Amino acid sequence: MGPPDPKQRFEEIYNAHYPDLLAYVRRRTGSPDDAADAIAETFTTAWRRMGDIPDGHDARLWLYGVARRVLSNRRREENRRTALAVRLRAELAVWAERTVEEDPDGVRRAFMRLSPDDRELLSLVSWEGLSSQEVAKVLGCSRGAARLRLHRARRRLARELDSGGFDMARYGSRAVALAKGQL
């Protein structure tokens, strides 16, 4: 008789031990979704490592060990995510305070009054330093369409700045013409 069929062996292990594993995981997780994820990962590991699973009663103990490690890894990941979120919130709070202090002319406020599409387009060019060709690839449009959208977004920003009392003249006649819609 040859080696047992891996699919059949997996099904036998799954059917025999799923209820116990589910109870084990549910007692150690905070939500049904977390429990389902942990069970899925445990049995995925079992499928990949079928040759390592002992026979008989020890298979259940092996699965408990895998589930324990899965849950432990998930807790560590969650702790890292939480620590990162706390750190990012603190950094963003400092950034937000600085940007208010550094925005005496209302440039940021004018920028935030633009549509999300205009803000994204202007950000890609100004902050990310992308060319119109690169912006076209990001947006999934032609270079000409990207250039036209960029021109219109710049004109809307200039109008917002002008209406907010920003002195466009200090940036030259082109900026004034943009604000007035003459370009």
Mean pLDDT to the nearest integer, 87-99? 75
Whether residue 118 sits in one domain with residue 76: no
Whether residue 145 sits in one domain with residue 82: no
50-64 pLDDT tens trace: 999 999 889 999 999
Looking at the predicted structure, is the pLDDT value of residue 101 above 60? Answer: no
Supply the CATH number for residue 73's domain. Answer: 1.10.1740.10
Whether residue 173 sits in one domain with residue 135: yes
End of a domain among 48, 72, 96? 96
Let me know if residue 35 belongs to a domain: yes
Q: How many CB atoms lie under 10 A from the CB of residue 146?
A: 24
pLDDT band per the 50, 70, 90 thresholds, residue 70: very high
Let me know if residue 28 belongs to a domain: yes
Residue 107's pLDDT is 75
Let me know if residue 31 belongs to a domain: yes
Query: Structure pTM?
Result: 0.51
Let me know if residue 75 belongs to a domain: yes
pLDDT band per the 50, 70, 90 thresholds, residue 90: confident
Whether residue 79 sits in one domain with residue 14: yes
Whether residue 86 sits in one domain with residue 10: yes
Q: What is the mean pLDDT of the chain?
A: 85
**Domains: count for the chain:** 2
Domain limits at 15?
Answer: 6-96
148-173 pLDDT tens trace: 999 899 888 888 887 877 766 666 66
